[in-house]
C-alpha cells in the first residue's frame, strides 16, 4: 500500500545513506529484508525535514536509521523508559541505548531523549511540536489502559495534521488470549482505540504479511525476529 506516496529526492538520499551507513553492523543490516525500513518509512510519509518522535526505541535499531536521516534537516526525540521503571529489562535497555548514543556522539548529538513511563510521565516532546510519532513492536506490551495513555501522549505531542505510525505483531481479530499470542496485538482493536482517541485512520500496509506466523510453531516459542505476521498502521491527528 503506497499510503502517502514516494519519498522526495532529498529524503530518499538521506534514508538510503542511513540504511547503508557504516555505523550499522552486518547483523543489523541483515534484518532489513524482513523489517523493510525504507518501505515502512515511505508508507508512513516520512520526510527528512520532520520532527519525529520514536516511542521506546529499545536497542536503537530504527534509531540508527532515523537519527542520521534527520540529522541535517530534521530532529528526533527518543521517548525512552525511565531509569526508575520496575522492570530490569527496561533499565538495561535504556542503558544500552544511551551507551549507543554515547559511543557515536557525532551521529546522535542532536537526538533529544525524553521519558515515557505510563501513566504519569507522558511528555514525549513539547506539545504539538512533532510532525510524526512512530512505535515499532511496543503496543503488544500494553493493556487497554496503557494503550489509552500512549494514544493520549502521542496526540498531545503531534501538531494538527501530524502522523502516527504503528507496527506490531498481528493477533487475529477476536482471538482469545493464549501463551503463544501474548506478544501480539489485534490490529482491529488498535485501529478502534486509536480512532476513539481522536485520530483519523489513514491506511494499512501488508508489507510484513506472513501467512505462516512464527509464533504459531509451538507454545513457548517466543523468538519473534523476522518470523511474525505484522501490521503497519498509519493515523493522522485532525487538522481542526
Is pLDDT larger for residue 225 or for residue 137? 137
Kindly report the backbone phi and psi dihedral angles of residue 41, in degrees, each rounded to the nearest multiple of 5, phi listed first: -65, -35
Does residue 119 have a cis peptide bond before it, meaning omega lies within 30 degrees of 0? yes
Average pLDDT over residues 155-182: 85
Q: Which pLDDT value is given to residue 54?
A: 98
Q: Which pLDDT value is given to residue 211?
A: 74
Is the per-residue pLDDT at 78 higher than 60? yes
The string of pLDDT tens digits covering residues 48-64 is 999 999 999 998 999 99
- Asked if 47 contacts 69 with a C-beta cutoff of 8 angstroms, the reply is no
Average pLDDT of the chain is 89
Percent of the chain past pLDDT 90, that is, above it, reads 68
The string of pLDDT tens digits covering residues 31-51 is 999 899 999 999 999 999 999
The string of pLDDT tens digits covering residues 101-131 is 999 999 999 999 999 999 889 999 999 999 9
Amino acid at each position: 500500500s503506497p499510503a502517502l506516496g514516494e519519498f522526495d529526492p532529498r529524503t530518499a538520499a538521506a534514508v538510503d545513506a542511513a540504511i547503508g551507513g557504516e555505523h550499522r553492523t552486518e547483523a543489523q543490516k541483515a534484518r532489513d529484508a524482513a523489517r523493510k525500513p525504507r518501505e515502512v518509512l515511505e508508507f508512513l510519509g516520512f520526510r527528512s525535514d520532520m520532527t519525529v518522535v520514536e516511542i521506546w526505541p529499545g536497542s536503537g535499531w530504527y534509531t540508527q536509521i532515523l537519527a542520521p536521516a534527520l540529522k541535517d534537516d530534521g530532529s528526533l526525540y527518543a521517548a525512552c523508559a525511565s531509569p526508575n521503571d520496575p522492570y530490569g529489562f527496561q533499565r538495561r535497555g535504556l542503558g544500552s541505548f544511551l551507551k549507543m548514543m554515547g559511543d557515536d556522539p557525532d551521529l546522535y548529538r542532536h537526538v533529544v531523549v525524553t521519558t515515557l513511563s505510563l501513566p504519569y510521565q507522558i511528555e514525549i516532546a513539547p506539545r504539538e511540536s512533532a510532525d510524526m510519532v512512530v512505535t515499532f513492536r511496543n503496543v503488544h506490551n500494553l493493556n487497554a489502559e496503557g494503550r489509552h495513555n500512549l494514544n493520549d501522549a502521542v496526540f498531545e505531542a503531534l501538531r494538527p495534521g501530524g502522523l502516527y505510525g504503528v507496527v506490531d505483531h498481528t493477533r487475529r481479530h477476536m482471538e482469545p488470549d493464549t501463551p503463544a499470542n501474548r506478544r501480539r496485538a489485534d490490529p482491529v482493536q488498535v485501529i478502534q482505540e486509536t480512532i476513539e482517541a481522536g485520530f483519523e485512520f489513514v491506511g494499512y500496509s501488508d508489507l510484513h504479511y506472513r501467512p505462516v506466523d512464527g509464533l504459531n510453531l509451538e507454545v513457548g516459542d517466543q523468538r519473534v525476529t523476522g518470523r511474525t505476521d505484522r501490521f503497519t498502521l498509519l493515523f493522522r491527528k485532525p487538522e481542526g
